[in-house]
Amino acid sequence: MLLPDAADARTTLAAVLAAFAPVGGLDDLQRPLLQDLAQMLYGIDLDSIEPDIPEFPATLAEETRHHIVHLLVVLEFMEHPLRPQVADAVMSFADRLDIHLGILHDSRNFAHQHFAAVYFDLQRNSWYGEETVRESVHGRFWELLRSKLAYIGVVEDHAIAEKWRGLRDCAPGTWGREVAAFYERHDFPFPGERHGIYELGARHDWVHVLADYETTPEGELDVFAYIAAAMDNHRGIVLLAVTLGLFQNGSIKHVEIKRIGNAREDTLSDPGAIERWANAFRRGAQCPVDVMGTVDLFAHKDVPLVEARARFGVVSR
């Protein structure tokens, strides 16, 4: 999980504040996010927390140290432009915690505007890449390859496309039918059709529907905050970093050689965006199921959407 539980919340928040103290503290976007998370998730007033550096790492569980670093990564990737001194401070703090994540090196490259290096490393370490390898060795190599070829426009794969178009035959109000309606409403090609999204990438579209987030820049940031907070796999933070690159800090314009048409900078500066984003983290943290990573989605296509939300612990917005 991306966020700490209540028992570790005060320690985590104090450590995050301490990490940013040497660079002047949190900025005008970062602090409201941390304030909203503290209040929404834990009922804690951030103003009651003093920066604190306990003895690391001996006195802290590894999970707590990961929570601290994950929050630091989210906060630094919010910056536009990211200051090199912030990237260095976060890296130094993570080293002190004895937590070593490749994404920390990516943030340093990003701060020095080495955008191509950031993009390729994030792609290499993403959940999609890991899941592609895992599913390939379990018999889906050719299917995923055909899906990728369709996505980049080489050739349509009729079997994959028919499977996804078949969601239109699900009963009205079911999760599957609402996913089909999602594609139709936005005039998106289905996976398997030419330029249809890669099948593993399409898993997040089911979460769009389940959690009720649109495909606007803000909606994409919200859905990946939800996914990262709910995901069991730490690579969820990489998915979120890519999304911040597309819709906040401007470091990424393409995904899998295709330009993202609605990519834009500074989305989190929009009125109310920080509060809504914090709410997405809250909803994901309270979801007991990693829908993105562990659920057989097509096995649930005929479940009414209202029931699916209840089944997977999707709390109200």
Q: How far apart are the first and last CA of the chain?
A: 20
Nearest partner of 10 among 41, 44, 37, 39, judged by Cα: 44
Please give the average per-residue pLDDT across 243-248, as a whole number.
94
The pLDDT of residue 134: 67
- In this predicted model, what pLDDT tens digit does every residue of 133-153 receive, in sequence order? 566 666 787 676 777 777 777
Nearest partner of 16 among 80, 108, 90, 87, judged by Cα: 90
- In this predicted model, what pLDDT tens digit does every residue of 91-137 receive, in sequence order? 999 999 999 888 888 888 777 776 666 666 666 666 666 665 566 66
Higher local confidence (pLDDT), 143 or 63: 63
Which positions ≥6 away from 53 have C-beta within 8 Å? 15, 18
The pLDDT of residue 176: 98
Query: Residue 43 half-sphere exposure, CB side, CA atoms within 13 Å?
Result: 2
Q: How far apart are CA 229 and CA 78, in angstroms?
A: 16
Q: Which long-range contacts (CB under 8 A, 24 or more apart) does 137-146 make?
A: 143/199, 144/198, 144/199, 144/200, 146/192
Q: What are phi and psi of 174, to 5 degrees?
A: -80, 160
Look-up of token digits 């940013």: 20
CB atoms < 10 A from the CB of 6, how many? 10
Please give the average per-residue pLDDT across 207-236, as a whole number.
94
Locate the domains of the chain by residue range.
Answer: 6-113, 127-311
Q: Tokens for 39?
A: 């209040």
Q: How far apart are CA 265 and CA 290, in angstroms?
A: 29
Please give the average per-residue pLDDT across 223-251, as a whole number.
90
The pLDDT of residue 232: 76
- In this predicted model, what pLDDT tens digit does every residue of 185-220 receive, in sequence order? 999 999 999 999 888 889 999 999 999 999 999 999
Contact 75, 33 (CB under 8 A): yes
Contact 55, 96 (CB under 8 A): no
- E strand or H helix at 46, and its extent? none
Burial class (CB in 10 A: 0-12, 13-18, 19+), 187: exposed
